[in-house]
Structure 1
C-alpha cells in the first residue's frame, strides 16, 4: 500500500512538472510571437511614412563658437516617431491568430489574419481566438514596456533581420526562433 502511494505521488509530481514546463513553453511561444508581430507591425508602420520627410534632432543651444549641434534624420526612424508608433502597435495584435502547432517542434506560431490592404488572405491554417489575441496584446505591451530602449535603438539604426536580432539575440524572447523561417511569427 505504501509503495502504491509513493508511486502515485511520483506520478502526480511528474505530471505537474510536465504541465508547468508545457505552460512555460506556451508562454514563451506567446512572448516570441508577440515580439515578432511587433517587429512586423513597426516595420510596416515605418514603411508608411514618407522616406523624404526629415526631422531636425540634436541640441538647439548655441555652442561657444556660434554653431549648433543639429542634424537631420529621416522622420520614419526618428525617436519621436518610433515612440509614437510604439504607443499603438500592440492594438494590432487583435489582427493575429494562432497558426496550427508545428508537429515537429510542438511550438505555436502566430499569423496576421486581417490584411492591411483589404485583400483576401488564406486562413486555413489559423484560428482566431480572443484569448490568443488578448495574450498577444498583453505580451506585446510587456515587451514594449521592458524593452523600449532596445526597440528604439534597433528601429532607429537596423534594417536587416530585426526580428532575429531583437527577439532572439538581444532579448532572448525567442530562443528557438533562429530555427524558424523568416515569415513565421
Structure 2
C-alpha cells in the first residue's frame, strides 16, 4: 500500500512539474514558431506530385497531378518531427526575471546544469506537442493555402491561433526573449 501511495505522489508531482514548467508560454511558442519558420525557409523546390497511377482502357494514365506547395505531404514533412527538434532547445536564464529558449548545438559545451537543461528540452517538446494538437488543422490549412510564410509564423501561431502571446507582447520579441537563434550555443 505504501508503494502505491508513493507512486501516486510521484505521479502527481511529475504532472504538476511538467504542467507548470513552461512559465512563459509566449516565449516557448515563439521558439516553436522559429523552428517551424526555419523549416519553411529551408524547403527546397519540389516537383508536383504525380498521382496518375491508374490506366484507362486506352492505356492512358488517369489521376491528378498535385502541386507540392498545396499538398498534404508538404504539411506532414514540415510538422512531422517538429516537436522532436524542440528537444534541441533549453531555457537560458538572462537575469533574475528573464529567460529565453535557445537552440543547443552541442550539449557537451553547455555550461549550465545539463540534467536541468535536458529536463527543459523535454518540457518544450511536450509543450510543442500540445500546441500542435490545438492548432494543427489551422496551420495545415494556412500552409496549403500558401498564407503561412517565412516571417509571419510567430504572429500566426502564437498570437492568432494559440493566443499564447497577446498582440501587445510584440515588445516581448523585441526584448530578445523570443527564443531567437542569436543565443545559439
After TM superposition, the structure 1 = structure 2 runs for residues 1-185 of structure 1, keeping only pairs within 5 Å, are: 27-29=22-24, 31-55=25-49, 72-75=66-69, 78-101=71-94, 106-114=97-105, 129-156=117-144, 157-159=147-149, 160-175=151-166, 177-179=169-171, 180-181=173-174, 184-185=178-179
TM-score, L = length of structure 1:
0.59
Q: Distance in 2 between matches of 1:113 and 1:47?
A: 20
Conservation of the 8 A alpha-carbon contact between 1:150 and 1:166: no
Q: Say which structure, 1 or 2, has more relative contact order (CA 8 Å, 6+ apart).
A: 2
Aligned length: 142
Rg bigger for which structure? 1
Q: Distance in 2 between matches of 1:177 and 1:114?
A: 28
Conservation of the 8 A alpha-carbon contact between 2:131 and 2:162: no
CA RMSD across the alignment: 3.5
- CA shift, 1:74, in A, is 3.4
Q: Deviations for 1:78-132, whole angstroms, at most 9, x for unmatched residues?
A: 33221243221111112112122456xx3432011218xxxxx9x78x8751121
Structure 2 residue ranges without an equivalent (≥5)? 1-18, 55-61, 180-185
TM-score, L = length of structure 2:
0.59
Q: Distance in 1 between matches of 2:120 and 2:44?
A: 33
Q: Distance in 2 between matches of 1:181 and 1:161?
A: 15
Q: Distance in 1 between matches of 2:50 and 2:169?
A: 37
